[in-house]
A and B are shown apart, each in its own frame.
Chain A
Amino acid sequence: EVQLLESGGGLVQPGGSLRLSCAASGFTFSSYAMSWVRQAPGKGLEWVSAISGSGGSTYYADSVKGRFTISRDNSKNTLYLQMNSLRAEDTAVYYCAKDPGLTRELPSNTFDYWGQGTLVTVSS
């Protein structure tokens, strides 16, 4: 059974940093691209970042480019999102999401499994 478990969310001041983790199990982690998708309170979904299965290719939404870094440790079956220079508008539930592998280890816009999410609140 595929499971994705996010952690690392919390309250942080504007300009601060936070690192999210997503522990994966139930599938061959290194074979699949992964993404982070966020949802501000009461708002819709927003794709944030994606990474290929090997970790060699990374992609970012314009809204987080230069501030967020996605990475993965395939030996630990864990996905990360390092968030720096946080702003109030980054406040959201952050979901990690698995790609089904339709384009091999490269990411797509299809997310077949999602974690339960972790809440990040940026406020002073």
Chain B
Amino acid sequence: QSALTQPASVSGSPGQSITISCTGTSSDVGSYNLVSWYQQHPGKAPKLMIYEVSKRPSGVSNRFSGSKSGNTASLTISGLQAEDEADYYCCSYAGSSTFDVVFGGGTKLTVL
């Protein structure tokens, strides 16, 4: 399975909203409502932000939301804050005949 496609970088000012896209194929993103998103600060482990396309784990701010249309999933962060500056990775189930998971290449979010 090829990696999912994400923009290398996005930026926004505090208080603004940004959206990070994650494009896959009909074999992964397009076939399953099983997209998750992870936030990773430098030198730290990833943190789950969104699962099953649009569900937020307990403790994750409601400023983070997820959606999907066709083969493309999206993560939207509203009311940008300085602490949102991090790398973001999407992830999709990609199994057909066997279990498989594919990540996106990651997007660096810069808060200006």
Contact = CB atoms under 8 A, between A and B. Distances in A.
Interface of A: 35, 37, 44-47, 50, 59, 61, 95, 100, 102, 107-112, 114-117
Contacts, number: 62
B10 to A, nearest CB: 15
A100 B105 contact: no
A94 to B, nearest CB: 11
B34 A108 contact: yes
B52 A50 contact: no
Interface of B: 3, 34-36, 38, 40, 45-48, 51-52, 57, 89, 91-93, 98-106
B45 A114 contact: yes
Given A44-B3, A44-B89, A102-B52, A112 B103 contact: no
B25 to A, nearest CB: 15
A111 B46 contact: yes
B102 A47 contact: yes
Nearest to B102: A47
